[in-house]
Amino acid sequence: MFSLDKGKKLRNSKKLSIKTIASGTGGMADALDSGSSAARLPGSSPGFRILILDFRLPIAQRKACGMATLTEAAPTLLASPRTPTGILLARASCRERLLDKSKIQNPKSKIVLTSLQNSLVKQIRKLHSTKERHKQQLFLLEGTHLLKEACAVNYPLETVCCTLDWQSAHSSLWSEACSKSDRTEIVSEEVLNAIATTVQPDGVVATAKRSVGQIQIPLTGLVLALKTVQDPGNLGTMIRTAAAAGASGLWISGDSVDLDSPKVLRASAGQWFRLATAVTEDLKATVQQSQQAGMQVVATLPSATLTYWEVDWRKPSLILLGNEGAGLSADLAAIADKQVRIPLSPGVESLNVAIAAALMLYEARRQMICQ
């Protein structure tokens, strides 16, 4: 189908991939790996591999695909006049050569996405709002650490967008993300800043499905149950702390902050992917179900006489915590098996809910370790 100029041979003995261009109906580009200086195209020499690449792209876009521009001479490839599909090949420039296949870090993404009006960019920007995340059933993953944690637990990704600088600095993670996502894009700094919710994003943003099957919270071990928690930083911190303390899972009421808010994920430091979490529209029923399964329910109240370290945390326990300002509702506090307080110095009204959760989680862990 293709041929070299008669008598031409590769001028460099190093193993390189020579790029040709295809255009027209049914056109595709071929990259041919040469094993020696005398190697020719398929039909005259074995051992060639086919890659789908497009040399017609501007230099900046080719670099996004892992291509490079060198000054060494390369063979001129010509189209065969007998090409049945009518594909025409442009001559490969003597100053441009595609390097080894291993340099191509993102075969799925061939161009740098620069337009803020692109449909994908608009779709991802909408995910900044809770309403759109629920509508699209997607959420945002921002930053290298969250992407690494998602890949570590094989969480399925929808789209991964990164800048050229980020791709170059994180080639292994980029390759792994490409293998776990449906779509990958190299984007400009301006686009990355637009789709991220952070002021200074570190170069990568991904989207993922909001739920991967029904999450089951174990009715054993140590579980948090949160009512009307509004601050995403508090929720993320409690997820992170619960995971660190070895908790079994976390329930959150439906009127709380969005469980997959970008701020929640960032505050969890990636532990969002490792702790079983679920939303319940009827927290009271969930608490009662836990009691029926044999778990003791412990609620925090400032008026309680029992301090939190006097509880036997070696039993399966559910820790019930309320809203940052209003605390726990009376109806939920009433069904608790135990009501406890955290001693405070005079003049101090209360503790941050995430701090209160941490104290009880680690007291429970201390008791289990020391038993």
Q: Are 79 and 87 in contact (CB under 8 A)?
A: yes
How far apart (Å, rounded) are the C-alpha atoms in residues 145 and 111?
25
Identify whether the C-beta of residue 365 lies closer than 8 Å to the C-beta of residue 314.
Answer: no
Place of tokens 């870090």: 105
Which helix (H) or strand (E) is 284 found in, with range?
Answer: helix 283-292
CB-based burial label for 121 (10 Å; 0-12, 13-18, 19+): buried
Is the pTM higher than 0.85? The answer reads no
Tens digit of each residue's pLDDT, the chain (371 residues): 333 333 333 333 333 333 333 333 333 333 333 333 223 333 333 333 333 334 444 444 444 444 433 322 233 333 333 323 222 222 333 223 333 333 334 444 457 899 999 999 999 999 999 999 999 999 999 999 999 999 999 999 999 999 999 999 999 999 999 999 999 999 999 999 999 999 999 999 999 998 755 688 999 999 999 999 999 999 999 999 999 999 999 999 999 999 999 999 999 999 999 999 999 999 999 999 999 999 999 999 988 999 999 999 999 999 999 988 888 888 999 999 999 999 999 888 888 999 999 999 999 999 999 87
Query: Which residues are registered as beta bridge partners of 17?
Result: 33, 98
CA 38 to chain centre: 46
pLDDT in tens, 213-247: 568 899 999 999 999 999 999 999 999 999 999 99
Return the closest-CA partner of residue 204 out of 136, 116, 124, 110: 124
> β-pairing, 296-300 with 317-321?
parallel
Residues whose CB is less than 8 angstroms from the CB of residue 133 and which lie 6 or more positions away in sequence, other chains included:
127, 139, 140, 210, 258, 260
CA dihedral 240, 243, 247, 249 (to 10 degrees): 80
Residues 6 or more apart whose CB falls under 8 angstroms from that of 350 comprise 302, 327, 344
Give the number of C-alpha atoms closer than 13 A to the C-alpha of residue 337, restricted to the C-beta side: 18
CA 136 to chain CA mean position, Å = 16
Question: Taking the CB of residue 335, how many other CB atoms lie within 10 A of it?
Answer: 13
